[in-house]
Every structure is written in C-alpha cells, then in structure tokens.
Structure 1
Amino acid sequence: MSDAAGVLARALREAPPDMLVEAADRTVRVLLDARGAEVLLADYRSTGLWPVRQPAGPDDDTPVDAAHRCYGAQREVLAHGDDDSCLLYLPLTAWGERLGVLVVDFATAPSPEVVRRAQELAGDLATALRAADRDTDRYRRTRRRERLSMAAEMQWDLLPGRSAAHEAYRLAGQLEPAYTVGGDHFDWAINGDDLCVTVLNGDGTGLGASLLTSVAVNAMRNARRSGGGLVEQAELASDTIYSQYRGRRHVATLLLELDVRTGRLGAVDAGSPRAVLVRGTSVRPLRLEQQLPLGMFAETRYEVQELLLQPGDRLFVVSDGVYSAEPGGREPYGRRAMARAMRAACLQPATEAVGTVIRELHAYHDRVDLRDDAVVVCLDWFGGGGRGGSPETSRSTGDGGRSTGGAGGGRTN
C-alpha cells in the first residue's frame, strides 16, 4: 500500500460512517493536490449516478456522461475543461459490487502516478462505503429517487449486494419495480470454491409476500451457514414456511450451487424461476425437473440435479414476472423477446447485461410500470481449471450425486 492510500485508510477509519466522503475530500486535497472530490452513487435502478455532498432533486439530471462511462466500463475516465482543468472519474467497486464513481477535481491534468494513487484511494473508499452502509442512512438516501414501499425496503435490506466478482466468474442481479417490489428476491453467498445463488418468488403481493420471502431466505441461510447443501437449504426453508402458513402460502425457488473450479452446477428447481443458458449465439432454457414449491406440504423432500457449464457460459435466472409478462395481451416476453434481449447483451459484462434485459422488459411494457415483480440474475463462468461439458442434467438423491460430461469450449465475455 502506498503512503497516500495508508493516509486515506486511516482517515476513513477515524471518520464517522456518515462522513466518509468529506474525509476523502480532505485527503485528496492534501495528498493529490486536488481541488476537491465528490462521490456519485448509483440509484436503486442503476440508471443514474447521484452526488452525496450536494444531493440533487428527484427530477434533476446529473450532467456526468463521463461518470456513466466510468461506471459502465469500470475504468478511469479523464474529462478536460476549457481552462486545462480536469475531472478524474474512478469506479467505486468493492468485491465486485459497483457502488458508484469517485470524482476528483484537478486544476491541471494529473500525472500517471497521481492517477495510480487516486485509484488506490478509490478502492479504499469503496470498501469503507460498503461497510458504513450498515450504520448510516446517508448513502441510501442518496441512492433512492423516490420513497420505497415497506415491502421494497425489506427486500433491499435482505439483498447480499447487486454484483460480485471472482477470477472465475462475474455475477449481477436486479429487482424491479425497484421501489415497490414485493415477493421476488435473489440471494447469493461466496464460500471458498462454492458459489450459491438463489432466486425466489414469494406467493402474493406487497408486505405479506415480502415477509414470506424473508422467512424463506433466512431459513436457507441458516441451513447454509450450518454447513448444509442445497437439499438441506430447500427442506429447512420448506418446513419452516409450512410450520408458519400450514400450506396456505408457498415460495417458488430455484437454488443453484456452482463449483467455480470445475463448472459443476447443482440445482434444486422448486417452482417458477427459470434458468436460461447462453452459449455463443445459442439461448435456451435449462432442462430441469420441477419440484414442489417451498412450504406447500409438510416434510417435502428435494433432490439435486446436476450439470456442467463450459468456460465462457452465461447463465441467466429470471422470475416469472420476466418470462411470463404479457402486457396488453401480447405474447409472453419469454417466448421470443427475452432471448433477443439476452443476445443483444452477449458482449456486455454481467453487470450491464441484467440492465439490458430489464430495460427491454420495460420497453415491452411500453414504458408503463411492470404489473408483476421481476428478478434478473446473470452469472458468467470463465472457467477455473476444470473440464467443461454439456449442460445436461442428471438426478441424484442428495447433494453428493455426480454427472459426467466431455470437454468443450464456449463464449468468452
């Protein structure tokens, strides 16, 4: 760590959680001879970037095209002014989660060494912002452009994040409608070489659906954090939901667990969320045997199906509010339009691809509000040294079954 990064790290540790941006501003003025700094945070829809220190109104436009380029490409952008001044835009990203952009104002163009030091500062600031979010409302107030419903407040608090990165994969997800989402949700956890991803569709609407989904997510986390695999997670969640609702409510769920070294993917398909494989120009749903939704009956037992991903494969998981959407009596979005959107996003990283599918879904509704909750999760697996293979499923009686597959290549992203 450079001396500059060490000074900022110390300043961030000593600052109150709601004053991190001010601490960063003071530090860049002293260490980088800058005129100041601002932080722009992505809103809940990931469609705008908004300043923390000078909050904009809900209808204000943020004149920061360079900031959007920086956020989308995840690389620094220099914007020169007429008087030789320069704004340096740096991505604020912690463990693969894109938070926003750090803007540093210089009187003259910074040297490559100053840019490098600023990049280190941005990394420390992003990590601090992510940690501080638990202890202050300031950054969440910046992110929201309208009031969240109570159900949406619970759903956003329950999320693990909106993106994650690893040398073997990239992962991103989005909830819509962002400010009123009810029962749809996604969850993930990174534990060594295992990546668990879950997409849920809680029965009903509004606060009741959000409460139901919260019970399911926390039950699955309880099983997972106790060392349980997919079967234990599904069965504990199902038993917990049934004990509370006696079969009157249920949660449709798709549970996935990826071995990031080999591409071996375990799946428990317990309801309506669907997985779609993108391999090269091919877009097709995965063939999974659907089992009962969680909580429908007492002591329901589940089985894992397994498949192999090839290096370069992309996996979308979408809720029924995406593939079954029929606005104005049109054919379901999932019949043809969804595949077109996924192909259009083939060269985009996962973080941008989820936005493309969601934007096309909104366009399919002629820009009116979605009638149902919608979740899109995108997973890109680059390969981790294991053998690739055909993504065909096999049955097993628990988490320990195995399937076989040959080597194969795929799309790189």
Structure 2
Amino acid sequence: MSARPASVGSFLRQAPPDRLPEVVAEHLRTWFPVAGTEVLLSDLTLSSLWPVLEPETPPGSALEQRCFGSQQPVTDAALRRVLLPLATWGDRIGVLRVDLTEAPGHELVTELTGVADELALALRAADKDTDRYRQIVRRQRLTMAAELQWDLLPGRSLTGERFRLAGQLEPAYAMYGDHYDWAVTDDRLTLTVLNGQGDGIEAALLTTVAVNAMRNARRSGANIVEQAELASDAIYSRHGGTSHVATLLLEIDLSGGTVEAVDAGSPRALIAHEGDIRPVTLEQQLPLGMFGDSRYETQKFQLESGDRLLVVSDGVHAAAPGGKAAYGDSALLTALRRTRLQPPTEAVGTVIRALRDYHAGDDQEDDAVIVCLDWLRGTA
C-alpha cells in the first residue's frame, strides 16, 4: 500500500457538504484496516445518537453514549471497534464508529482520532449548506418558533483554556422565547440568557430581534451596557412598550474572574463551589423594550478559581407544576448538587432531566434554559 495521506481534511474540503460521511468512510476503507464505519449525530435533546450512513439502523448503544458523554475514545477489543467523539471547540456533535480488521492499538487510535477531528470541523462548517444532518438530529417536526430559536443558538457547548461552558434549551421542539447566546474574544466571554415575552412565533421573533441587536452592538465593539440599550431601543421602536425581553447580560474577564452584569429581568444566576451554592444578588433593572431611551448600569461580582456559574431562565426557577412550590425554591438546589462532579455538558442535562421529573408528566408551561460555566483558573 502506498503512503497514507497526511490528512483527510483536503478530501473533505473538496467534497459536497452533504457527502462528508461517505468521504470519510471511503478514506478509512482505503487507508486503514477498516471493515465498517458509521457517523452518529446527537439529537436535539442530547439524549440519543442517530446513524447517518445507515439511517434505518438503530440508534447508538450505551458504549456510544459513553464516548459522547466522556469525550474520550472508547475501544471494544472483542468487537475490534473504536468509538471517537466528534466535537469542535468543545461543542459536541456526535460519535464516529470504526470497526477494524485488527485489534485497535494506541497508534491506530491516535490516527483515527485525527480523522474524527477533521470530520467534526467539516460537519460544523457544512451545516449551513445542507439539510441532511439537521434532518438526522431532529426526531420530530419543530414548530416555527423552535426553528427560529435553534438557528439563533451559538452552539451547545464551548471550551477554552480557562473555562468550560454548556447550555441547554427545553423543550426542544416547541419553544416560547427563552434563549441563550455567547461569544468569546481574547480574554472576554459575553454570556446572555433571555426570555422573550409571550409564546410561540411572537416570542421567538421578539427574542430574535433582541439577540441580533446585541450581537450587532457587540460586533461593533460596544460594551454590555450599550448592547442592552441598543436591543431595548430596537424592541421599543417595533412594539412601543407593549412587549419586552427579560435579560441577564454578563461579561466575564477570563483572566481574573471579574464579572460585569446587566440584570434586566427574570433570569437568575447562582455560584456553586465545593458543594456550596449561593445566589448572585443583583439589582434588577427594567426588561429590554419597556420604555424608550432606557438606560442601564453594570454591577460586578467575582468568580474564584474552580467556581461554577449557573444561569437559569424563569422556566427553570419559577416552574410550579400542579401547584407545587417553585422549582427554584429547593428542588433546583438539590439537582445542582448532583452535578458537582459532572462537566458542564453533563450538568445541564442533569438539571433539565430533574426539571422534567419535577413536572411528573405534566406539560411544561414555559420553555427552560440553563447555562453552566466552569471558570478554571486565572493567569498563572
């Protein structure tokens, strides 16, 4: 056999966006001792993995889920199988399953990991140019509101040298205006959790205006006060004060842990550290869009190394199904304590599952957002 190409990346860049799994499968068959390949993508609820190459076959097993959750390669020597996480900048996409004709050695697994990394990057880039992968990950039809909000999300997780970040939005297929956004530039991480007033398409459109107004300001170099004020003006000019967006807007200094905040509504923040959980007390200002020419001020609080910052929408902390006490009164803290040893990507799912259990079969009356940030350390 001739020398193996250094990377599959050049082949993926030349391929049509909807044929990336086939390109990787052919590359592996040609250059590696491979008997079979499957690409599995996570569904919108992050609860199951679905095959792309053979979509009629069953979803991924517990072994694939273990790979997806741990974000580490998993080998099954008996089956001569290697499972590799597909992720870009910490945003989990799915799993690459490779069946080999020989036992998986360390060097081979390392090479296959490089192929998985190239595929994950290509899948993320191709997502806007083909519907194939989105058709796999949605297991039922989305409402129009949900379609708008999924397109608006930045991703489901993000990692950097000093932080790990994850968010989850529920219910996945029908939403009512809750949302989150984030962006990292240099040592600054901007994080927003929002709740557009109302439900259905009107709430989603309201949130879309707010998010894009804040992005427009942020990308022009504006600080979080200016971002909030531009979004408030945009909403007021459209609705004249009849609709508003509750927002918590944070800018985190990743080198020192200082957090500047604009609290304009119902999302709430908590800090967990070594089992202790405390609320972040901020002075609440008016929601975006209630009045013309609204002005906002920042408040500050400090993260310590190892702190976990959690932000939840009112669909989490204020949920009171069947006349129960609000979820945020005590059940939320119980759920958060269970996440102490979990990474943010798993912690958000734990809280959302506990919220579902709290509803005990009743439909959620509001959508729910939870965002989890681990600040790992300051500068050395």
Q: Deviations over 1:194-216 (max 9, x none)?
A: 00000000000000000000000
- Aligned-pair CA distance for 1:384: 2.2
Asked whether the equivalents of residues 228 and 288 of structure 2 are also in contact (C-alpha less than 8 Å), the reply is yes
Q: Deviations over 1:50-101 (max 9, x none)?
A: 0011224xxx8525111000000110111244xxx41100000101100010
Match of 2:44 in 1: 44
Q: Distance in 2 between matches of 1:283 and 1:329?
A: 25
Match of 1:74 in 2: 71
Match of 1:345 in 2: 339
Match of 1:29 in 2: 29
Q: Which residue among 118, 122, 133 is the counterpart of 2:127?
A: 133
Q: Distance in 1 between matches of 2:4 and 2:276?
A: 48
Match of 2:167 in 1: 173
Q: Distance in 1 between matches of 2:277 and 2:6?
A: 47
Match of 2:205 in 1: 211
Gaps of 5+ in 1: 387-413
SS in 1 for 2:34: coil
SS in 2 for 1:135: coil
SS in 2 for 1:6: coil
Q: Distance in 1 between matches of 2:8 and 2:37?
A: 13
Q: Which residue among 101, 105, 108 is the counterpart of 1:111?
A: 105
Counterpart AA for 2:50: W
Q: Deviations over 1:100-119 (max 9, x none)?
A: 10001112212211111001
Match of 1:406 in 2: none
Q: Distance in 1 between matches of 2:340 and 2:7?
A: 41
Match of 2:306 in 1: 312
Q: Distance in 1 between matches of 2:55 and 2:45?
A: 17
Q: Distance in 1 between matches of 2:99 and 2:5?
A: 18
Match of 1:65 in 2: 62
Percent identity between the two aligned chains: 55
> Per the alignment, do residues 36 and 61 of structure 1 end up closer, same or farther by CA in structure 2, a change over 3 Å counting?
closer
Counterpart AA for 1:69: R
Q: Distance in 2 between matches of 1:4 and 1:344?
A: 46
Match of 1:397 in 2: none
Structure 1 position 231 matched with structure 2 position 225: yes
Counterpart AA for 2:195: N
Aligned residues: CA RMSD: 1.2
Which 4+ stretches in 1 moved above 2 angstroms? Answer: 3-7, 60-63
**Normalization by structure 2: what TM-score?**
0.97
Counterpart AA for 1:143: V
Structure 1 position 184 matched with structure 2 position 162: no
> Per the alignment, do residues 234 and 371 of structure 1 end up closer, same or farther by CA in structure 2, a change over 3 Å counting?
same
Match of 1:144 in 2: 138
Q: Deviations over 1:112-142 (max 9, x none)?
A: 1111100111111100000000100011111
